[in-house]
Amino acid sequence: MKAHWLVVVALVACGGKDESGETDGPGTTPPPPADADADADTDADTDADTDADTDTDADGDVDQAASAGLSAQFPGDTLGSAVAGAGDVDGDGLRDLIVGASGVTSSSGAAFFLASPVTSGLVNSVATNTWLGPTPAERTGEAVTGGLDGDGDGRADMVVGAWLIGGGQGGIYMMSSTAVTSPSLGSPILGAAASDYFGASLAMAATSGDAAVFVGAYGSDLAGPQSGTVYVLPFTATNQNQATARLNGGVYDKLFGHGVGWNVAAGDLDGDGLDDLVTGAPDQYKDGIIDTGAVYLALAPFSGDLVIADVATLIVDGVGKQNRLGEAIATGGDIDGDGLDDVLIGAPNINGGTAWWVKGTATGRMTIGDAAFDGFVDGDDLSRLGAGVGLEDMNGDGLADLLVAAPDNEELPHVAVFYGPAEGALDLEGNVAKRLVGQAASDFGLQIGALGDTDGDGKGDVAIGAPLGDYVSIFLGE
C-alpha cells in the first residue's frame, strides 16, 4: 500500500489528466494485470483531478465527500431504504430526487420529494414534500422510482412502493408531477393476493408511448408458490388488473419458489428505443442448491402472461449456496460506448464480494464469473463488494461509470467508482477512479440512486442510501 501511494503521488505531480479532458480510465487500453505497478498507472490518470477532493485516509485514492447529507428525524426511520432520480419534476431544468424512509412512524413509512439543489440537513426540513404511509406497518418508501413522463403532460412522474400493505399484499402509489405538492399519497394500487409483496421493487420504463412501471411482486403465486411476478403497469392504471404484461417466475425443484421481481431495473438493451427489463430472483434454487439466485434480461415490448425463463434473452445463475445473485443489479447506462445499455450485477456473497458486467445484448444462459462476461471488479476479502451497484455518467463523457459498494471495506465503507469504458479485470487497489465516502454506516451504498444531472453541469449525480445508518448522501459528478 505504501509503495502504491508513493507512485501515485509522483504521477499526479506530472499531471495525469489528459488535456483533452478524456481520462485514461480502465478500458481505453487493455486492462492491466492486478499488480501494484500497473495499478498505479490507471489510478494516477483518473485520480489527477483538478478539484479539491482530498485523500482523507492517505491510501492514495481520491475520496470524494458528499455535497449534501440528509439525516433522519428519528433513529430507525431507515432513511435511504430507497433512493431514485425523479427527473425534472418542477420544470426548472434540474433533475430532482425521491427518497424513501420505510421505518418512519412504526414502519408506516414515508417518501420525500427533494427538489434540486439539495442542501444538508434533517430530511423533513430539506424535503419539498413529505408523504407518509397512511396505514400502520405498510413500509411506504421501501421502493421508489421516477424520472419519466407517465401521464403525457411533459413532466416526470414518480412511483412509491409500500410492499407490506395488508401485511404483505403490497401496493404502490402513482405520484404524478401534478401531485408533487399534495400532502397525501392518495389511494394505492394493491397487489393481487396476500403475501405477493407487490411493489417491493419498482422501475419506470419507456416500454411504449407514455412510460410504464415495472412492479416487482416476488411473492406472487401466479405460476406456482412464490414464483414471483414482474407487472408491466401503465402509469395511468388504477388497478393491477390493468397490467399490459405479467412476467412470471416458475417453480424450481418442484418445491421452491423463483422469487422473480425481488428487484427490477430498466434500460434499452437492444437499442430499439424501448426500455427492457432486468430483474433479480435471489431466492431461486439451482440443481437443488438453495438460493443460488439468478438475474434475467428480457426485451420489451411485453404483452400478456409470460414465463420469464421462456422470454429471457439472458439468464445469469449464481454458483453456490446462498449466493443470492440478483439482490444487486443495475442497467440504464452504456459502459462500453456501443450505444446500448449494459448490465452490472453485484455478487456480495461470492469470494468476499465481486461485481460483474455484461453487454445487454448477451444471450443464452451463463453462470456468474463465466468468461463470457465483459468485465468484473474484485473486492478485497470480505468487503461485501457489490452489495449495492449503480450506473451513472459521473464524469460527463457519455459513458456510464460503474458504482460498486464496498460496505465492509477494512479501511472505510465506500462506493468505488470506475469510469467507463471498462473491460476485463478491475480491482479496488489500482483501478478506482475515486471513492465516494459518506456516513460510516455498515450498509453505506446498499442503495445507489442514479439521478442524472441535478446541478446543471452536464455530469451525472448520485444519491447513496445507508438505511441502517438513517442517512442519505448526495455526490455530484465532476
> Is 23 near Ca ion (CB under 5 A)?
no
Nearer to Ca ion, 334 or 427 (CB): 334
Give dist(CA 27, CA 431) in Å, integer.
10
DSSP 90-122: SSSSS-EEEEEETTHHHHTBEEEEEPSSP-SEE
Residue 395's SS3 state is: coil
Q: In the set 18, 37, 92, 272, which binds Ca ion (CB under 5 A)? A: 272
- Candidate ranges 58-66, 78-86, 212-220, 260-268; the one touching Ca ion (CB under 5 A): 260-268
**Calpha distance 357→399 (Å, rounded):** 14
> Helices (H) and strands (E) in the chain — how many of each?
5, 33
Nearest to 472 by CA among 98, 109, 217: 98
**443 contacts Ca ion (rule: CB under 5 A):** no
Nearer to Ca ion, 276 or 470 (CB): 276
Stretch that binds Ca ion, among 74-82, 89-97, 201-209, 396-404 (CB under 5 A): 396-404
To Ca ion, the closest distance from the beta carbon of 302 in angstroms equals 11
Cell of 48: 489527477
Min CB(191)–Ca ion separation in Å:
27
Q: Which is nearer to Ca ion, 63 or 276 (CB)?
A: 276
Question: Which stretch in 26-34, 156-164, 306-314, 399-407 sits in contact with Ca ion by CB under 5 A?
Answer: 399-407
Pairing mode of beta strands 314-317, 342-347:
unpaired
Tell the residue number behind the cell numbers 416458475, with chain if given: 250
Q: Considering only residues 70, 206, 308, 340, which one is a binding residue for Ca ion as defined by CB under 5 A?
A: 340
C-alpha cell at 68: 449534501
Query: Which residue is listed with cell 427490477?
Result: 264
202 vs 300, beta carbon nearer Ca ion: 300
Indicate which single residue of 41, 283, 342, 429 sits in contact with Ca ion (rule: CB under 5 A): 342
- Outline where DSSP puts E strands in 261-340: 263-267, 276-280, 294-298, 304-307, 314-317, 328-333
- Of 15-23, 194-202, 284-292, 448-456, the segment contacting Ca ion by CB under 5 A is 448-456
Under 8 Å between Cβ of 147 and 186: no
> Any contact of residue 459 with Ca ion (CB under 5 A)?
yes
Q: For the beta carbon of residue 33, count every other beta carbon within 10 angstroms.
A: 12
Establish if 102 lies at the interface with Ca ion (CB under 5 A): no
CB half-sphere exposure, 110, CA atoms < 13 A: 26
Residue span binding Ca ion (CB under 5 A) among the ranges 49-57, 128-136, 205-213, 385-393: 385-393
Among 399, 406, 416, 466, binds Ca ion (CB under 5 A): 399
> What's the closest the beta carbon of residue 462 comes to Ca ion, in angstroms?
10
Q: How many residues bind Ca ion, per CB under 5 A? A: 21
d(CA 137, CA 405): 29
Q: Is 392 in the site for Ca ion (CB under 5 A)?
A: no
Q: What is the 8-class DSSP label of residue 179? A: G
**By the rule CB under 5 A, 210 interacts with Ca ion:** no
CB of 321 to Ca ion, least distance (A): 32
Minimum distance of Ca ion from residue 313's CB (angstroms): 10
Let me know: does 107 contact 84? Beta carbons within 8 Å.
no
Of 138 and 268, the one with the shorter C-beta distance to Ca ion is 268
In angstroms, how far is the first alpha carbon of the chain from the final one? 26
Pairwise CA distance, residues 213 & 236, whole Å: 10
Q: Is 231 in a helix, a strand, or coil?
A: strand
The sheet carrying 294-298 orders its strands as 263-267, 276-280, 294-298, 314-317, 364-367
Residue 395 within binding range of Ca ion, rule CB under 5 A:
yes
Indicate whether 24 belongs to the interface with Ca ion (CB under 5 A). no
374 is a site residue for Ca ion (CB under 5 A): no
Give the interface segment with Ca ion, choosing from 34-42, 213-221, 305-313, 450-458 (CB under 5 A).
Answer: 450-458
Q: Which of 266, 394, 423 is nearest to 336 (CA)?
A: 423
Q: Is 457 in the site for Ca ion (CB under 5 A)?
A: yes
In the complex with Ca ion, the residue whose CB is nearer, 253 or 338, is 338
Binds Ca ion (CB under 5 A): choice among 38, 132, 193, 274? 274
| Binding map of Ca ion across residues 152-191, x = CB under 5 A, - = no contact | ----------------------------------------
Site residues for Ca ion per CB under 5 A: 268, 270, 272, 274, 276, 334, 336, 338, 340, 342, 393, 395, 397, 399, 401, 453, 455, 457, 459, 461, 477
